């Protein structure tokens, strides 16, 4: 059984200010629960249906009916289990590899996909501008499908951060050089800009190399930023 | 002003059976209207706000209030204009280039992104299994952002179709050969499978080469099919 106060708390976590206040976020679903239980994140509360409880062990599970789960879930089709998880504040690690830098990515589905692709391509950390959508936003957590528990995501002032980077810093521009023509080192930063406006003016000066994905058909005007990031990471990492 | 019958008709077009019955689909928004007016699709009715009408010319535009537009729109934030468009039945063209084949893609957002990426990479036609989501589904039309008016999308029996193809047929598999290690000819078919089940058993026999995107991080379990298609098309076309 779930209390009114629990429902109120869970609903409140849709907003970033409440996630910060309580230092909690929501994660849902059977697959994500499995990955979360194998991670070093701390699950503070776990609400699950009888079916989930029959197949899993967790110390202090709170059993809920399907109707109760529907009341607290953000999903159209709630999937057996919902968890309240303690936020982890990531530190910048000194990584000899690819670091992805996000300059004001707004759409949570895009950030989720980008986190997922970093996990796929072995990129360990993402440095985000302070205006980039929060990685503990419920839509980010769901679309990243568990990868959010494995990738370091850090929010910081990008101009300050980039001014101290000594590795090559590539930036994605519509009119950049064809990514296929560039020989990348295995130790670099890649900056992706905002969905509508691209890389911001203050950041331009830190970019040492422009990259683009060639528009072969020459009729579509733009690429989705998550797809563009995926193509560039594949090109650089594979 | 919009009539009750018009509202009923527009709402009914959310379902494929009604789109087939009326041979009409819905497209919305300023950008898509612009692309549609430059295409060879026939706009049967065009509903627009005073603002849109002030900036554009169209013979028989029906002026609607913002409230009326909200009633007929599928969008959270309706964007000035909604059109009823005549369905075009595409024919298979004999194309010396890349043909994409989709084996039961279910998610309309995925098909929309895939159509968009074909437009970007100059792929002119997509052959779909009969169970692949309809390209005139409103979510496909919106996520393809106008590319749906430029790409040939054909629904047919895939086993019959593929049994007559004489070009190399590549298929995407989780355990296929690294796409980076393959030299592709510029004249080939690429088959992408269903989101959950991959390429179906009946289709396997027609595949002459397996391709995969290397899982470098080795922790994420799967790739979104639209992202995987984008990476493979970039690898093959660029």
Q: What is the mean pLDDT of residues A182-208?
A: 96
User: What pLDDT, in 10s, does the model give residues A148-185?
Assistant: 999 999 999 999 999 999 999 999 999 999 999 999 99
Nearest chain B Cα to A145, which residue? B220
How far apart (Å, rounded) are the C-alpha atoms in residues A145 and B224? 11
* C-beta separation of B72 from B102 below 8 A: no
pLDDT band with cut points at 50, 70 and 90 for residue A237: very high
Position B236 pLDDT exceeds 80: yes
Percent helix, strand, coil in chain B, to 5, is 35, 25, 40
Chain A, window 140-169: residues with a beta carbon less than 8 angstroms from a chain B beta carbon: 145-147, 150
- Is A85 in a helix, a strand, or coil? strand
pLDDT band with cut points at 50, 70 and 90 for residue B135: very high
Predicted pLDDT of residue B96: 83
Is there a contact between A121 and B231 if contact means CB atoms under 8 Å apart? no
pLDDT band with cut points at 50, 70 and 90 for residue B213: very high
User: What pLDDT, in 10s, does the model give residues B42-64?
Assistant: 999 999 999 999 999 898 999 99
pLDDT band with cut points at 50, 70 and 90 for residue A96: confident
Q: Which residues of A touch B218 (CB under 8 A)?
A: 122
* B53 and A CB contact within 8 Å: no
Burial classification of residue B14, based on how many CB atoms lie within 10 Å of its CB (0-12 exposed, 13-18 middle, 19 or more buried): middle
Nearest to B134 by CA among B111, B100, B157: B111
User: What pLDDT, in 10s, does the model give residues B86-117?
Assistant: 999 999 988 789 999 999 999 999 999 999 99
- Is A211 in a helix, a strand, or coil? strand
Q: Which residues of A touch B213 (CB under 8 A)?
A: 120, 234, 238
Predicted pLDDT of residue B238: 87
Element (H, E) at B187: none
* C-beta separation of A39 from A88 below 8 A: no
Position B233 pLDDT exceeds 90: yes
Please tell me which of the candidates B147, B179, B216 has its beta carbon nearest to residue A121. Answer: B216
* A217 and B CB contact within 8 Å: yes
E strand segments, A80-208: 81-86, 98-102, 125-128, 152-155, 169-178, 188-192
User: What pLDDT, in 10s, does the model give residues B151-164?
Assistant: 999 999 999 999 99
Position A105 pLDDT exceeds 80: yes
* C-beta separation of A126 from A115 below 8 A: yes
Write down the H helix ranges in B85-133.
108-121
Which tokens go with B138?
């409103």
Handedness of CA B133, B134, B138, B139 (dihedral sign): positive
Is there a contact between B216 and A120 if contact means CB atoms under 8 Å apart? yes
Q: pTM, whole model, 2 decimals?
A: 0.94
* C-beta separation of A238 from B178 below 8 A: yes
């Amino acid at each position: 059984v779930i209390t009114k106060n629990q429902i109120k708390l869970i609903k409140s976590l849709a907003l970033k200010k409440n996630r910060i206040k309580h230092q909690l976020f929501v994660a849902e679903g059977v697959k994500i629960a499995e990955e979360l239980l194998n991670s070093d994140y701390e699950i503070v509360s776990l609400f699950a249906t009888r079916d989930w409880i029959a197949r899993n062990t967790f110390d202090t599970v709170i059993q809920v009916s399907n109707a109760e789960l529907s009341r607290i879930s953000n999903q159209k089709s709630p999937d057996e289990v919902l968890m309240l998880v303690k936020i982890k504040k990531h530190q910048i690690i000194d990584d000899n590899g690819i670091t992805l830098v996000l300059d004001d990515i707004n759409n949570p589905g895009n950030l989720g996909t980008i986190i997922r692709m970093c996990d796929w391509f072995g990129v360990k950390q993402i440095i985000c501008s302070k205006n980039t959508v929060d990685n503990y936003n419920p839509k980010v957590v769901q679309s990243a499908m568990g990868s959010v528990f494995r990738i370091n995501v850090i929010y910081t002032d990008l101009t300050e951060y980039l001014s101290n980077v000594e590795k090559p810093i590539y930036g994605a521009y519509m009119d950049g050089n064809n990514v296929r023509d560039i020989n990348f080192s295995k130790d670099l930063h890649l900056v992706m800009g905002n969905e509508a406006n691209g890389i911001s003016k203050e950041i331009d000066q830190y970019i040492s190399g422009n990259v683009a994905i060639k528009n072969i058909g020459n009729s579509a005007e733009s690429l989705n930023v998550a797809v563009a990031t995926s193509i560039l990471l594949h090109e650089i990492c594979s």
